[in-house]
A and B are shown apart, each in its own frame.
Chain A
Amino acid sequence: MIPVSHWVGTMDAILLQVLNGLDKGSAYALIALGLTLIFGTLGVVNFAHGALFMIGAFCAVTLQRILTFSYVTLDETQKDFLGNPLKVETPYLEGWFGYDIGHAIIDWSVPLAILFSIPIMVAIGFIMERGLIKHFYNRPHADQILVTFGLAIVLQEVIKYFYGANPIPTPAPDMFRGSLDFGAMLGLEPNAVIYPYWRLVYFGFSAIIIGAVFAFLQFTTFGMVVRAGMADRETVGLLGINIDKRFTIMFGIAAAVAGLAGVMYAPINSPNYHMGMDFLVLSFVVVVVGGMGSLPGAVLAGFLLGILESFASMNEIKAILPGIDQIIIYLVAIIILLTRPRGLMGRKGVMED
Chain B
Amino acid sequence: MSNSNFTRRGVLKTSAIAGAGLALPTYLRAASDSGFTNAPTGSTVTLGFNVPQTGPYAEEGLDELRAQELAVQHLNGEGDAGMMNTFSSKALKGNGILGKKVEFVTGDTQTKSDAARASAKSMIEKDGAVMINGGSSSGVAVAVQGLCQEAGVIFMAGLTHSNDTTGKDKKANGFRHFFNAYMSGAALAPVLKNAYGSDRRAYHLTADYTWGWTQQESMQAATEAMGWETVNNVLTPLASTDFSSYIAPVLNSGADVLVLNHYGGNMVNSLTNAVQFGLQDKMVNGKQFEIVVPLYSELMAAGAGANVRGVIGSMNWNWQLQDEGSKAFVKSFGEKYGRPPSNSAHTCYVQTMLYADAVERAGTFNPCGVAEALEGFEFDGLGNGPTLYRADDHQCFKDVLVMKGTENPTNEYDTLEIVEVTPRAQVEYAPDHPMFAGGELGKCNPGA
Contact of B237 among A177, A269, A325 (CB under 8 A): A325
Q: Which residues of chain B (195-248) have a CB below 8 Å from chain A?
A: 208, 231-232, 234-237, 239, 241-242, 244-246, 248
Q: B58 — which chain A residues lie within 8 A by C-beta?
A: 160, 164-165
Closest CB-CB distance, B415 to chain A, in whole Å?
10
Contact string, B32-67, partner A, CB cutoff 8 A, digits 1/0? Answer: 000000000000000000000011111100100000
Question: Which B residue's beta carbon lies closest to that of A23?
Answer: B244
* B379 interface hit (Cβ, 8 Å): no
Any B CB within 8 A of the CB of A13: yes
Within 8 Å CB of A169, what residues of B? Answer: 272, 302-307
- Cα(A312)–Cα(B238), bound, Å: 15
In the complex, A278→B307 CA distance in Å?
23
Give 9 closest A-B pairs by Cβ, nearest first: A169-B305, A165-B58, A178-B278, A167-B303, A166-B59, A196-B276, A313-B245, A310-B245, A326-B237
Do A326 and B208 touch across chains, with their CB atoms under 8 A apart?
yes
Which residue of chain A lies nearest to B242 when distances are taken between CB atoms in the complex?
A24
- The digit string for B289-306, where 1 denotes a CB below 8 A from any CB of A, is 000000000010011111
Segment among A4-12, A40-48, A118-126, A210-218 that sits at the interface with chain B = A4-12
Q: Which of B231, B252, B273, B307 contacts A192 (CB 8 A)?
A: B252
Q: How far is the CB of B401 from chain A (nearest CB, A)?
A: 16
Task: Mark interface residues in B240-265 (1 if CB within 8 Å of A CB, else 0).
Answer: 01101110110111100000000001
Q: With A6-B253, A17-B248 as given contacts, are A82 and B334 in contact (CB-CB < 8 Å)?
A: yes
> Could you say which residues of chain A place their CB within 8 Å of the CB of B237?
325-326
Inter-subunit contact A166/B302 (CB<8 Å): yes
Q: Please tell me if the beta carbons of A198 and B276 are within 8 angstroms of each other in the complex.
A: yes
Q: Is the CB of A81 within 8 A of B330?
A: yes
B245, B281, B320 pick with most chain A CB within 10 angstroms: B245
Known: A82-B335, A160-B58, A178-B281. A309 touches B245 (CB 8 A): yes
| A268 touches B (CB below 8 Å) | yes
Known contacts A166-B303, A171-B306: does B248 contact A269 (CB below 8 Å)?
no
Query: Chain B: residues with CB nearer than 8 A to chain A?
Result: 54-59, 62, 208, 231-232, 234-237, 239, 241-242, 244-246, 248-249, 251-254, 265, 268-269, 272-273, 276-278, 281-282, 284, 299, 302-307, 319-320, 330-331, 334-335, 340, 410-411, 413
Chain A residue contacts of B307, Cβ below 8 A: 169
Whether a CB of chain B sits under 8 angstroms from the CB of A228 is no
CB distance from B232 to the nearest CB of A (A): 6
Closest to A1 in B: B232
Interface string of A155-174 (1 = CB under 8 A from B): 00000100011111101000
Chain B proximity mask over A33-67: 1 for CB below 8 Å, otherwise 0: 00000000000000000000000000000000000
Q: Is the CB of B252 within 8 A of A24?
A: no
Among B236, B254, B272, B304, the one with the most A-chain Cβ atoms within 10 Å of its Cβ is B272
Given A81-B330, A169-B303, A326-B237 in contact, is the A270-B268 Cβ separation under 8 Å? yes
